Amino acid sequence: MRVSVLGAGVIGVTTAYFLAKDGHEVTVIDRADAAARETSFANGGQISVSHTDPWASPDNLRKVISWLGDQDAPLVFKPSLDPALLKWIWLYLKNCTTARAALNTERMLRIAAYSQNVFKDIRSDVDAPYDARHTGIVHIYRQAKSYTKALKQAEAVTALGIERAPISKDLALEIEPNLSHAMDSLCGIIYAPTDESGNARVFTENIVAACQKVGVTFRFHETVQELLSDGTCISGVRTDKGEITSERLVVAMGSYSPLLLRSLGIKLPVYPAKGYSVTLPVEDKHLAPITALIDDEKKLVYSRLGNRLRIAGLAETVGYDTKIHDARARLVLSGALELFPNAGDISQATYWTGLRPQTPDSVPVLGATPLKGLYLNTGHGTLGWTMSAGSARVVADIINDRTPEINMSGLGFNRFR
Ligand SMILES: Cc1cc2nc3c(=O)[nH]c(=O)nc-3n(C[C@H](O)[C@H](O)[C@H](O)COP(=O)(O)OP(=O)(O)OC[C@H]3O[C@@H](n4cnc5c(N)ncnc54)[C@H](O)[C@@H]3O)c2cc1C
Domain 46-96+131-195+271-358 is in which class? Answer: alpha beta
- Look at residue 87 in the predicted model and tell me its pLDDT: 96
* Nearest atom in ligand 1 to 32's CA: 47
* β-strand partners of 315: 75
Ligand 1: atom nearest CA of 45 is 8
- 341 CA to middle of ligand 1, Å? 30
Ligand 1 centre and the CA of 102: distance in Å? 26
The predicted pLDDT at position 78 comes to 87
- How far apart are the CA of 180 and the centre of ligand 1, in A? 34
Q: How far is the CA of 38 from the centre of ligand 1 (A)?
A: 6
Alpha helices in 1-96 (DSSP H): 10-21, 58-67, 83-94
C-beta atoms surrounding 214 within 10 Å: 12
User: What b/e sequence results for 278-311 when a residue is b if at least 16 CB atoms lie within 10 Å of its CB, and e otherwise?
Assistant: bbbbbeeebbbbebbbbbbbbbbbbbbbeebbbb
Sign of the C-alpha dihedral computed for residues 48, 49, 55 and 61 taken in this order? negative
Q: Let me know: does 271 contact 255? Beta carbons within 8 Å.
A: yes
- Answer whether CATH 3.80.10.10 is correct for domain 2-40+202-269+362-416: no
Helices (H), 340-383: none
Q: Does the beta carbon of 275 sit less than 6 angstroms from any atom of ligand 1? A: yes
Task: Give the Cα separation of 383 and 115 in Å (integer).
Answer: 11
> What is the per-residue pLDDT for 417?
86
Pairwise CA distance, residues 343 & 172, whole Å: 18
Q: Which of 38, 261, 309, 391 to mutate to test the pocket of ligand 1 (most atoms within 8 A of CB)?
A: 38
Contact status, residue 268 vs residue 365, Cβ threshold 8 Å: yes
The tens digit of pLDDT for each residue in 109-168 reads 999 999 999 999 999 999 999 999 999 999 999 999 999 999 999 999 999 999 999 999
Q: Is the CB of 379 under 6 A from ligand 1?
A: no
Please tell me the predicted confidence (pLDDT) of residue 268. Answer: 98
Give domain limits for the chain: 2-40+202-269+362-416, 46-96+131-195+271-358
Query: Which pLDDT score, from 0 to 100, does residue 274 have?
Result: 98
What span, in angstroms and rounded, lies between the C-alpha atoms of 167 and 157? Answer: 16
Contact 223, 75 (CB under 8 A): no
Q: How close is the Cα of 173 to the center of ligand 1, in Å? A: 33
**What is the 8-class DSSP label of residue 79?**
-
**Main-chain phi, psi angles of 362, to 5 degrees:** 70, 10
* C-alpha gyration radius of the chain: 21
Write out pLDDT tens, residues 71-110: 999 999 888 999 999 999 999 999 999 999 999 999 999 9
Q: Does the beta carbon of 44 sit less than 6 angstroms from any atom of ligand 1? A: yes
Ranges under pLDDT 70 in the chain: none
**CA 8 to centroid of ligand 1, rounded, Å:** 9
Distance 37 CA to ligand 1 centre (A): 8
Numbers of helices and strands, H then E, in the chain: 10, 20
Judge residue 68's burial from the number of C-beta atoms within 10 Å of its C-beta, 0-12 exposed, 13-18 middle, 19 or more buried. Answer: exposed
CB of 224 within 6 A of ligand 1: the answer is yes
